[in-house]
Amino acid sequence: MAARLEGLVHYQLPLDDVLVDVNALLGRRLRVSFMHSIRCVSCGKTIPKTYGQGFCYPCFTTVPEADACVLSPEKCRAHLGEARDMSWATAHCLIPHVVYLAMSGNIKVGVTRHTQVPIRWIDQGASSAVVLCETPNRHIAGVIEVFLKQHYPDKTKWQQMLKGVHDEGDLLVEKQRAAALLPPILRRYVSGNDQVTSLSYPYAGALPEMLAQVTFDKQSVVEGVLTAVRGQYLVFDHHWALNVRRHRGYLVVVETIDD
């Protein structure tokens, strides 16, 4: 889903050439049907399953968008002149990056390109976030993240994130603590930007006590009242949470159901 911050996070779901206003669907009964067709998001080939968020296996092993450093920034070698596609790496890896702390069901550490702030935080469903370090490339940001992973998780606990559990704490205090943990060679990248970004998401009431993640690999239709949208999840009133990004390349039909 595409997202932008307008006080409340506003979501749009791209279906073919149309951007569907997801916020406007909140509180309505939806039926999302998988049409049993999956296409690689890179080459468009019809495939039985995806690799690395929407790719066929050949693209997953060759395209720059699926290079190892996408998930593991410390593995980036673009600064050494090595990449699947140096022109892509120049535009995406050899540019300023930030290491951040985010409140997303727990305090986590992460890395993103400077151009992806605050979109990356929205994608992770963070309630607040702060820039910890600013680096000239992806590799250095990844090295800092790996060091801090000894003290902070880098994964989001999706159920806690959706429910807003443990979304309390002082990120500026945590930033000072994290900065002090860094060795001097990495501490020089600590950012003087102490602005804490707060994020609010569209909810139509309290969430169910228990949530279950549903995938189109196990069932073809997800139907229910859309209760909340946060991160890349659509949450329905009968305990189901659908991760939209998990289904990149899947052909689906979205319908509103009138009672």
Mark out the alpha helices in the chain (DSSP H runs): 57-60, 68-71, 86-92, 119-123, 138-148, 158-163, 171-181, 184-187
Task: Tell me what pLDDT residue 166 has.
Answer: 65
Beta-ladder partners of 190: 133
Q: Give mean pLDDT, residues 189-195.
A: 97
Task: Tell me what pLDDT residue 17 has.
Answer: 80
Contact assessment for residue 64 and residue 88, using Cβ atoms and an 8 Å cutoff: yes
Length of the chain: 259
Both tokens assigned to 149: 């992973």
Specify the higher pLDDT residue, 38 or 210.
Answer: 38
The predicted model scores a pTM of 0.91
pLDDT in tens, 118-144: 999 999 999 999 999 999 999 999 999
* Residue 133 one-letter amino acid: C
Q: What is the mean pLDDT of the chain?
A: 93
Residue % of the chain over a pLDDT of 90: 80
| Cis ω for the linkage preceding 118 (within 30 of 0) | yes
CA nearest neighbour of 126 among 107, 102, 106, 145: 102
Reply yes or no on whether the pLDDT at 259 is more than 70. no
Contact assessment for residue 109 and residue 148, using Cβ atoms and an 8 Å cutoff: yes
Q: For helices 171-181 and 138-148, what crossing angle results, to 10°? A: 100
CA nearest neighbour of 96 among 148, 131, 53: 131
CA nearest neighbour of 42 among 33, 53, 26, 31: 53
Q: CA 176 to CA 233: how far, in whole Å? A: 31
Q: Residue 185 burial (CB < 10 Å; 0-12/13-18/19+)?
A: exposed
CA nearest neighbour of 194 among 153, 133, 123: 133
pLDDT in tens, 209-248: 789 999 999 999 999 999 999 999 999 987 899 999 999 9
Task: Tell me what pLDDT residue 223 has.
Answer: 93
Q: Are strands 240-243 and 212-214 parallel, antiparallel or unpaired?
A: parallel
The one-character DSSP state at 228 is E
